[in-house]
Amino acid sequence: MKLTWARTACSLPALSGVSRAHFGELLGELAGPWEAVRQSSLRAARGGPRRRAEGAGRKPKLVFFDRLLVALVHLRHQMPHAVLAELFAVDRSTVSEAIRQVRPLLAARGFAVPDRAGLRLNTLEDVFAYAEAEGVELRMAGAETQVRRPRAGRPGRRAFVSGKRRQNTIKTTTFSDGQGRMLLSGVVRPGRMHDQTDLRTEGIAEQFRTRPRVKARVDSGYQGLAKEFPDQVSAPPKKPADKACDGDTYAWRETRRRQSSARICVEHSNAELRQWAPLRRFTGRRETYAETHLAIAGLVSDRSAQRATRRQTSTELVLVSDTVW
Q: What confidence tier does 311 reach under pLDDT thresholds 50, 70, 90? A: low
Higher pLDDT, residue 26 or 198: 26
Q: Give residue 325's pLDDT.
A: 44
- 3-state DSSP assignment of residue 274: coil
Q: In the predicted model, what is the mean pLDDT of residues 105-133?
A: 90
- Contact, 30 vs 105, CB < 8 A? yes
Instruction: Please tell me the distance from the alpha carbon of residue 65 to that of residue 11, in angstroms, as a whole number.
Output: 10
Counted residue by residue, the chain has a size of: 325
- Which sign does the torsion angle of CA 175, 297, 37, 189 carry? positive
What does the pLDDT look like over 232-247, one tens digit per residue? 888 887 877 777 777 7
> Average pLDDT, stretch 146-168?
76
- Identify the residue with better confidence: 298 or 237: 298
Asked if 221 and 142 count as a contact pair (C-beta separation under 8 A), the reply is yes
pTM attached to this predicted model: 0.86
- Distance between CA atoms of residues 191 and 164, nearest Å: 9
Handedness of CA 90, 35, 297, 186 (dihedral sign): positive
* Angle at which helices 289-304 and 20-46 cross, to 10°: 150
Please give the Cα distance from 48 to 18 (Å, whole number). Answer: 39
Contacts of 322 (CB under 8 A, 6+ apart): none
